[in-house]
């Protein structure tokens, strides 16, 4: 065996071991995911990034909008904690400290959620969500991403593909700028998500499925998801809203959501 073969062989063995030991399980779907990034490090990085975004943004001073987002967000958060506890996965969010912020950008149709329970909603989204039910659709979907550790999955893939498979702490110390950019790309931080990687179809379907269950548990009718996505699709025009730029075709999503509705309705208890 020559030296090159030895190097590639060693790398393959190392990657195989990592795949075997670095696994996480997605709630509800049970899918096994590749997760190289420790929750404590990711949450710490998320807190820093979230704080940085808020410092650079103008926060809404409209009490009605802020209170609505926080009210819906807290109900989804409680539903999330209840759901994971019922499924013996409460430890997955034991370090979450929920925070819901409203960023004053009327032309930005977007929302995102990060590990640790840090959530941002842009005011441009609210005319489309219209009410608490529509907002619950979006927040359920976005919160489902960190609950399913989709960002961790993408971050892990990026650490291997872009930074040679080093650990997160090593990547931060040796290549901080590249690692920060990788984090923003993986977790969809900020308003310019059109420049970020879309979630995979599998991840989006999981977020839809989990999000519908979370909003149903929170007492919001999941059937509101269909008209919400129809309104979102109608905003497309020549330039799709930021929220759609990293999401699949709206019509495909609507059909998939309809197929998921019987399951979600089993969790629905009006409040």
Q: Which of 92, 132, 142, 204 is catalytic?
A: 142
Measuring CA to CA, which residue among 214, 238, 212 is closest to residue 226?
212
Q: What is the DSSP string of the chain?
A: --HHHHHHHHHHHHHHHHHHHSEEE-TTT--EEE--S-HHHHHHHHHHHHHHHHHHSPBP--HHHHHHHHHHHHHHHHHHHHHHHHTT-GGGGTT---EEEEE--TT---EEEETTTEEEEEGGGHHHH-SHHHHHHHHHHHHHHHHTTHHHHHHHHHHHHTTTT--HHHHHHH-HHHHHHHHHHHHT-SS-GGGSPPPPHHHHHHHHHHHHHHHHHTT--GGGHHHHHHHHHHT-TTS--HHHHTS--HHHHHHHHHHHHHHHHTT----
Which residues share a beta bridge with 113? 119
Active site residue 204: no
Question: Which residues are marked as active site?
Answer: 142
């Amino acid at each position: 065996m020559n030296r090159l073969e030895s190097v590639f062989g060693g790398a393959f063995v190392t990657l195989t071991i990592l795949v075997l030991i670095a696994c996480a399980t997605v709630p509800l779907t049970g899918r096994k995911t590749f997760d190289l990034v420790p929750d404590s490090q990711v949450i710490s990085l998320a807190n820093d990034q979230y704080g940085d975004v808020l410092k650079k943004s103008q926060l809404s001073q409209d009490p009605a909008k802020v209170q609505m987002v926080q009210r819906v967000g807290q109900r989804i958060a409680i539903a999330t904690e209840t759901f994971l506890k019922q499924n013996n996965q409460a430890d997955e969010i034991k370090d979450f400290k929920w925070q819901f912020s409203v960023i004053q950008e009327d032309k930005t149709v977007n929302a995102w959620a990060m590990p640790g329970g840090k959530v941002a909603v842009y005011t441009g989204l609210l005319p489309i969500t219209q009410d608490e039910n529509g907002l619950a659709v979006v927040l359920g979907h976005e919160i489902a991403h960190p609950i399913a550790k989709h960002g961790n999955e993408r971050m892990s893939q990026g650490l291997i593909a872009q930074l040679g498979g080093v650990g997160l702490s090593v990547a931060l110390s040796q290549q901080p700028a590249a690692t920060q950019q990788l984090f923003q790309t993986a977790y969809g931080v900020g308003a310019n998500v059109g420049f970020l990687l879309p979630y995979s179809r599998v991840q989006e379907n999981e977020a839809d499925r989990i999000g519908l269950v979370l909003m149903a548990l929170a007492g919001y009718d999941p059937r509101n998801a269909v008209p919400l996505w129809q309104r979102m699709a109608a905003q497309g025009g020549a330039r799709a809203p930021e929220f759609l730029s990293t999401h699949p075709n709206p019509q495909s999503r609507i059909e998939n959501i309809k197929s998921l509705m019987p399951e979600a309705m089993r969790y629905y208890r009006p409040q």
